[in-house]
Amino acid sequence: MKLIEAHATNYRNIIDADPVAIGQTTCLVGKNEAGKSAFLKALEGIRSTDASFKDYGKITNYPRRMLAEYQSDHGENEARVMRTRWKLDAVDKKLIAMEFGNDTLTSDTVVVEKTYEQEGTSWTVQFSEKAALDHLISHHQLTSDDRAALNNATTALRAAALLEALSARSEAQQALLDAIKKFRSNSVSLRIIDILYPRMPKFMYFSHYDRMSGEMSINKLNEDRQNSRPMPSGDRVFLDFLEYAGTTLDDLVKTKQFEELNAKCEAAALKITDQIFDYWTQNDELKIKVVLSEGKSGDPAPFNSGPVARARVENSLHGVTVPFSERSAGFIWFFSFLVKFAQIKKSHGNVILLLDEPGLTLHGTAQLDLLRYFYKEIAPHHQLIWSTHSPFMVPPDDLSSVRTVEDVVQLDQRNRKKSIGTKIRSDVLTTDPQTNFPIFGAMGFEVTQTLVIGKNTLLVEGPSDILYLQVASAALKAAGRPHLSPHWAICPSGGIDKVLPFVRLFYGNKLNIAVLTDFERGQKRKLDDLHKSALLQEERIILATEVAGKDEADIEDFFAPALFVDLVNKAYGLQGEHLLTVEKLEAADTGTTRLVKKAEAYFRLLPQEIPEFSHFDPSMYLLQNPKLLSGKGKPVQETLARFETAFERIDKFI
């Protein structure tokens, strides 16, 4: 089973977060207090690896300002917190087919949801009960006389009732009855659920606060466990480490000799440390040591008696060993996460990871190491959902996996602020700039890297140009037509006046440069300055006007007006009287031929609740909906032809 959608409602600051598409990796980006943690905790509640997380806790977690109206809003029912949709894999379907035949399932998706005051979950499976019963009847080889006793029953429950009412049953009838009675409540539906439930992944939640304790009193921990006292998360991680090492709390309580246990802990610590250094580039002179010993009377309680487990970090470069608590919080978090993940895999197998602000205390480059670990080590085997507000934890080359999380505030009729709760969107540009900041930061960082590593660098105006070029190139490639060479690293320069400083920087690095830039008449002097610098051959400076066939042009002018209008309408959801047409676009500003300037003028006439036109919004929409360029109509073909012309000119310099 694979999670494909999650819909959170009625939880903390979430009223209705909207359905969220979930992929193999999903990155939730938002400000502090936006609702990222609430969404992850609501999702964890479906089936947590934490055995103590059984219900959501209505009094604590139902939106407080709505709690007084709970009964009137929900009546005798409980409020739903999470609704998930799962796609069945080949093995799931095979197991059901083995018991009920190939025609029973009518859909390869199931819905699993959970409400307040509910420890389990509710499932919705689309299937044909009659097909399942027919298969059972055929499998047990009932004769026509045997079947007549079933009186055309269409459900297993009804068939079982009829068979039980018979004074005498044939061998085949008895076999069918025995088979049905093995189902929970004689229900095919419940039997299907019972087949699928063990295959449903559990959710492992891990936050940036979850760091392994540096020392732990075994007696105190055992006492807390026996008295059912809450255990600090750091102690729980330490217990996970001990179990991963092959020992248990009971072993530590009973033992009088620590040598064997110390050897196990040392081996486990070294194994996890080796995993860290496959990705940790900050300092490779560190080692984790976990030692078990008797507490000394001079130590503070409760570490002054009984067995005590202590973790220390050795820095071989400086020849010093220090307690866990005195080392980098980022390194301790990374170690703790790998401990937790290793033990969860060992004990639970199939898990979906929910990481809340992972690596928050890591340096930016260490966060990039962690992101690399996510994609290389976790994503191939487990679905992974993480939240962040750091640009270094946003995957710039996988923006389709990014979801923005925003606590949306609107103004009422009296101009007072009113929160409508957390909203989670896949359109990363429909939120406020502060929410988007990490995304732009990630893209900016990725762009900066091309200054160093891009052997062949194509300078363009801005981020929207990058997206347009990538989507158009992909469409042309799919059609078997000339497209942009993958050897180009595309870098936004910020405009023609910024090209010269960029070229000077690249010139020192001996990189291969080409430029594709917008152009308006007032920029002629800047273009002349670029030509006079003699740092770049004139033919390497490709103006949008030369491709679009206009005196002034942006990359948007590569688009046929009809296709550009369609893209803008879809990107901003314009409809009704606000729907943009080619005629409206042309009339919006007759003093220019540039489609972007005309669009900006048109948007200034629209109501205030419609956002201002942005270069980036349509380009991001096209990236997420590339089928707009897959049509055979004249506007699409005209557009692709212009991009093809540009690519052929650019690729001459590879």
Tokens 């942006």 label which residue? Answer: 554
Q: Are 266 and 292 in contact (CB under 8 A)?
A: no
Where would I find the H helices in 140-187? 144-148, 156-165, 171-181
Coil, strand or helix: which one is 160?
helix
- How far apart (Å, rounded) are the C-alpha atoms in residues 203 and 209? 18
Q: What is the pLDDT averaged over residues 341-346?
A: 78
Residue 153 identity (one-letter amino acid)? A
Asked if residue 577 belongs to a domain, the reply is yes
Q: Taking the alpha carbons of 501, 502, 503, 507 in that order, is the dihedral positive or negative?
A: positive
Spell out where 295-381 has E strands: 307-315, 320-323, 351-356
Above pLDDT 70, what percent of the chain? 90
Domain termination residue (choose one: 301, 328, 355): 328
- Extract the runs of DSSP E, i.e. beta strands, from 239-333: 286-294, 307-315, 320-323
**Residue in the block written with tokens 């199939």:** 350
**Average pLDDT of the segment spanning 405-424:** 83
Each residue of 29-79: pLDDT tens digit? 988 888 999 999 999 999 999 888 888 999 999 998 888 888 888 888 999
3-state SS, 533-575, equals CCCCCHHHEEEHHHHHCCCCECHHHHCCHHHHHHHHHHHHCCC
Q: Is the pLDDT of residue 564 over 90?
A: yes
Within a domain: 523: yes
Specify if 53 maps to a domain.
Answer: no
Q: pLDDT-based confidence at 512, cuts 50/70/90?
A: confident
**Digit-coded pLDDT (tens) for 636-645:** 999 999 999 9
pLDDT band, very low/low/confident/very high, at 347 (cuts 50, 70, 90):
confident
**Least confident residue range of 394-403, 523-532, 552-561, 580-589:** 523-532
How much is the pLDDT for 565? 95
The reported pTM is 0.66
Compute CA 257 distance to the chain's CA centroid, rounded to the nearest angstrom. 46
**Which pair of structure tokens corresponds to residue 639?**
């557009």
Which residue type, as a one-letter code, is found at position 501?
A: P
DSSP letters for 20-70 = EE--SEEEEEE-TTSSHHHHHHHHHTTSBSSTT--S--HHHHS-GGGGGGH
Which residue's structure tokens are 């300055």? 529
If DSSP codes are grouped into helix, strand and coil, which group holds residue 245? coil
Each residue's pLDDT tens digit, 378-387: 899 999 999 9
The 8-class DSSP code of residue 351 comes to: E
Tokens 């709690």 correspond to 67
Which tops the pLDDT comparison, 494 or 5? 5
Q: How many CA atoms lie within 13 A of 276 on its CB side?
A: 24
Taking CA 128 as the corner, what is the angle to CA 127 and CA 132, rounded to the nearest 5 degrees?
Answer: 105
Strands 456-460 and 488-492: parallel
Segment among 96-105, 499-508, 585-594, 626-635 with least mean pLDDT: 499-508
Tell me: do 476 and 610 sit in the same domain. Answer: yes
Please tell me the total count of domains within the chain. 2
The pLDDT, as a whole number, for residue 285 is 67
Confidence of residue 244 (pLDDT cuts 50, 70, 90): confident
Would you say residue 142 has pLDDT above 90? yes
Between the CA atoms of 149, 155, 156 and 160, what dihedral angle is there, to the nearest 10 degrees?
A: -40
Residue 503 · residue 476 · CB < 8 Å:
no
Domain boundary residue among 328, 361, 389? 328
Instruction: Tell me which H or E stretch contains 83.
Output: strand 80-87
152-166 mean pLDDT: 94
Are 54 and 119 a contacting pair, CB within 8 Å? yes
Domain with 249 in it: 210-328
Which of 104-108, 171-175, 247-251, 449-453 has the lowest average pLDDT? 449-453
Q: Which one is predicted more confidently, 449 or 282?
A: 282
Indicate the pLDDT class of residue 441, thresholds 50, 70 and 90.
Answer: low
Read off the pLDDT band of 431 (50, 70, 90).
Answer: low
Instruction: Please state, rounded to an integer, the average pLDDT across all residues of the chain.
Output: 86
Assigned domain for 478 exists: yes
In sequence order, what DSSP letters do the residues of 483-546 get, joined into one string?
A: ---TTEEEEE-SSHHHHHHHHHHHHHHT-EEEEEE-B-GGGHHHHHHHHHT-SS-GGGEEEHHH
Range name among 18-27, 258-267, 618-627, 631-640 with the lowest pLDDT average: 258-267
Q: What is the pLDDT of residue 452?
A: 45
Mean pLDDT of the region 151-170: 93
Comparing 191-195, 313-317, 322-326, the range with the smallest average pLDDT is 322-326
In a domain, 216, yes or no: yes
Taking the mean position of all CA atoms in its chain, how far away is CA 73? 32
Q: Is residue 30 a part of any domain in this protein?
A: no
Element of type H or E holding 196: helix 188-196
Residue 194 lies in a domain: no
Domain end marker among 303, 328, 353? 328
- The verdict on residue 396 lying in a domain is no
